[in-house]
Amino acid sequence: MATQIKRMLHLKLVRFRSGRRKNFVAPALDTLLLKVQERAPKFAQRHFPSTDALPEGTLCAFISNIRQRKNCDGVMFDMNVYTYGMSVEQFNPDFSKTAPDINQGRIVDSEGKKRDILHTYRCLALGQALLVKYNRSAGGMHILELLLRQVFQQHCDEKLPGVELMDVTTHELDKAIKAGGGVDAVSLRLIGGSKPPPDAAFSLRLSELGKQVKGAKRVKVVWETEDDVLDAKSVLALASEYANEKTPLDKMAIQLKDGGSIPSLEKYRERRRTDVGLTMDGAIIVADIETGLFHYLDELRAVQNGWRVIDDQGNFVAPKVVSSKG
């Protein structure tokens, strides 16, 4: 039996930073990617940052292998991440020696060419939705935001705003709140010293509050009710902002009316585990990741109990989806 490992697939909502452009209509992500495929045939044209005079040690990324799903919708692509000119520690496992044989330097192949370690993100795009199998240690999602902004502006429309990749809070959080009889209290802490995003309503207000007391490093707020319950939509909006990886909000806990609690929102992020096989050489079978992404996309569009996460075109179904930057 082939060896299998577990890999996590994440759902992201792709939001354009349109600001005050009220008439802005966000283009479909898959349509933009097909334009990039047509107009930027060389991978250097799909590279961030620009390949002109790259300093050694620069974190870089490029898009490769853009392709449509056969006989189906959605566009697959890979994002490859590497550190240009990086020296790495290399080890020769000769156990007969007293001390380990460790050298540091560039990786060189049999032809004497210098090479860099590559990390690959597997992605599936449709409408506003982006499904990703990624590696946090390779730069997380921020490098993908920067890359997409650059290639979309260069090869699709220079007036396009940058993009944000937002986490999506599953509808299960709303269900958990309802099952607990509503929310009795919410506690939240703000860490000082961080600049909140401009559209982060809660953290901006708490940041201003913290400035009123000199020397304060943190601000802790508790919203409580007595005989009633807190407004669920407000709590979900707060959870949305809290899930932002760059937010200064910290340590959010939800106390339910029935006495239970939700101390962490991590398990309510929309994501799926998938089984991935390994070859005899220990390499990941990429086709298994792609199959997992296809199945996940189909699952997200399937109607369950009268509701689904995204529609057939990959647009998120309002108002029940709560999203936050990730």
Q: pLDDT at residue 326 above 80?
A: no
> What does the alpha-carbon distance between residue 263 and residue 187 come to, in Å, rounded to a whole number?
10
> What does the alpha-carbon distance between residue 251 and residue 261 come to, in Å, rounded to a whole number?
13
Q: What angle do CA 99, 104, 110 make, to 5 degrees?
A: 105
> What does the alpha-carbon distance between residue 252 and residue 256 come to, in Å, rounded to a whole number?
13
Strands 271-277 and 4-16, bridge-based pairing: antiparallel
The average pLDDT across 93-106 equals: 85
- 218: which residues sit within 8 A by CB, 6+ positions away? 189, 190, 191, 192, 210, 250
- Which residue, among 52, 51, 78, 148, has the nearest Cα to 293 in the 3D structure? 78
Q: pLDDT at residue 20 above 80?
A: no
Q: How much is the pLDDT for 253?
A: 83
> What does the alpha-carbon distance between residue 257 and residue 9 come to, in Å, rounded to a whole number?
33
Percent of the chain with pLDDT over 70: 88
Taking the CA atoms of 207, 212, 217 and 262 in sequence, report the sign of the dihedral they define.
negative
User: Reduced to 3 states, what is the DSSP secondary structure of residue 65?
Assistant: strand
Residue with tokens 């106390």: 255
Q: Diameter of the chain by CA atoms?
A: 75
| CA separation, residue 21 to residues 4, 18, 89 (Å) | 48, 6, 49
For 209-275, give the DSSP string: HHTTSTT--EEEEEEE-SSS-B-HHHHHHHHHHHT-TT-SEEEEEEEETTS-EE---GGGB-EEEEE
pLDDT per position as a tens digit, 145-180: 999 999 999 999 999 999 988 877 766 777 788 888
Contact of 202 with 187, CB cutoff 8 Å: no
Which of these ranges, 107-116, 192-201, 250-259, has the smallest mean pLDDT?
192-201
Q: How much is the pLDDT for 313?
A: 92
Contact of 240 with 320, CB cutoff 8 Å: no
Taking residue 291's Cβ as centre, other Cβ atoms within 10 Å add up to 14
Please report which confidence band the pLDDT of residue 320 belongs to, taking 50, 70 and 90 as the band edges. very low
Most confident of 144-158, 163-177, 185-199, 229-243: 144-158
- 313: which residues sit within 8 A by CB, 6+ positions away? 28, 126, 127
The average pLDDT across 207-219 equals: 81
User: Reduced to 3 states, what is the DSSP secondary structure of residue 298?
Assistant: helix
Q: pLDDT at residue 34 above 90?
A: yes
| CA separation, residue 134 to residues 47, 141, 215, 265 (Å) | 18, 8, 39, 20
Which of these ranges, 12-16, 27-31, 54-58, 104-108, has the smallest mean pLDDT?
104-108
273 by Cβ neighbours in 10 Å (0-12 / 13-18 / 19+) ranks as exposed
- For residue 108, give the amino acid letter: V
**What's the mean per-residue pLDDT of the chain?**
83
| CA separation, residue 86 to residues 1, 77, 116, 125, 272 (Å) | 38, 25, 7, 31, 33
Q: Which has more pLDDT, 305 or 133?
A: 133
Q: How much is the pLDDT for 324?
A: 40
